[in-house]
Every structure is written in C-alpha cells, then in structure tokens.
Structure 1
C-alpha cells in the first residue's frame, strides 16, 4: 500500500471510516500548517516500516464534520484505527518512534 501524500479535499463520512477494515491512520491537518509540514518526514520514516497501514490525510478546518466527530482541536492529529475503532491518538507529535509504536499497535490489534 502506498503512502498518501495529499490531503483529501472531500472528506469521507464518519460511517465510511467506522466500516473500514484493517489498520488505518487518519491524519487531520492542513497543507498550510507548519506543524503538519514538520511532521511529514517523521510520518514517511514511520510508514516505511508499516506499508500495510492505510493512511488517509484529511484537510480539516472549522465546521468540518469528520474532524469534529473525532474531537480534533490541534493539527496534526493522528488517529490510529483498527477495523474502524480508535486504538491510539497522537497530537502534534515530534517523535517518529511514537508513530511507529502506534502503527505497530494497530497492525497487531486483535481487532485487525
């Protein structure tokens, strides 16, 4: 599975996310966010060890329903899901190791 580098302009519905099978990471952010841009090399490094995890980048903003349903307040917010259920969350992380650990957690989750 290739790593998604582009923020989705149209976000999926929460019901679609809840029905996803397997390990998935949602990345809420904005292309204009400095924290989001700084996180990209960390994410690329962490994902190199976890090619089977789906990555969905979502352009978030005021009034965007998917981000509000996950109670996103700061960018980037990384939500780690196994079969549509949240297993872990990282907010404005600067630690590739923490991202790797969360990715490993959703890959090995009994829900996966």
Structure 2
C-alpha cells in the first residue's frame, strides 16, 4: 500500500482509483475480487491502495470513514466515490465516469 501526499495525488494524470482500507479489514478483503473484476479490462486506470487508520492523514483529508472507500479521480480531481462496494457492476459504472 502506498503513502502519497495530497500534492502528488492532485498531480496524477488520467484516471485513478484510490482505495482506502487495510489488509486486515473483512470488507476490504471481500471487495478485492470485485475491484479486480471491474479493473480487468481497464488497463488505462491507475489503482492505488492506501493504508488508512490512526495517524494516517490522507484518509482524513479525503474524509474516509468506512473501509474500503474507493475514490475515483480524473486528472487528480475527485469525480466520484464508492463506500464498501458490493458489486463489480457498480465499480465499473463509476469507472465509466472517469
């Protein structure tokens, strides 16, 4: 999992998903196959996992309250988000917007 700064995130070019969560979170584990399925044919989308939790400022900057939270960015700007996604279709639909 990466630890980026807000400046680095805002400088990202193209389509990006930021995935906030932890390795031990049950919801995060359950979402992994859904995320992988939605991204399977979307090589144009950058997927960055960000370890969140106590002392992690980036999650607070994005107002993350539940895991996993997927933040969809276009050229470093948020265009959508999903919290605890339970469907690859929902993720794919959000990807279509970026």
State the 1:73 CA deviation: 0.5
Give the TM-score normalised by structure 2.
0.97
Check whether the contact 1:26–1:78 (CA below 8 A) recurs between aligned residues.
Answer: yes
State the 1:65 CA deviation: 1.0
Task: Please report the RMSD computed on the Cα atoms of aligned residues, expressed in angstroms.
Answer: 0.7
Q: Which runs of 5+ in 2 are unaligned?
A: none
1:102 corresponds in structure 2 to: 94
1:15 corresponds in structure 2 to: 7
More strand by share: 2
2:80 corresponds in structure 1 to: 88
State the 1:50 CA deviation: 1.1
Check whether the contact 1:50–1:104 (CA below 8 A) recurs between aligned residues.
Answer: no
Does residue 69 (structure 1) correspond to residue 61 (structure 2)? The answer is yes
Q: How far apart, in 1, do the equivalents of 2:68 and 2:94 lie?
A: 15
SS in 2 for 1:75: coil
2:46 corresponds in structure 1 to: 54
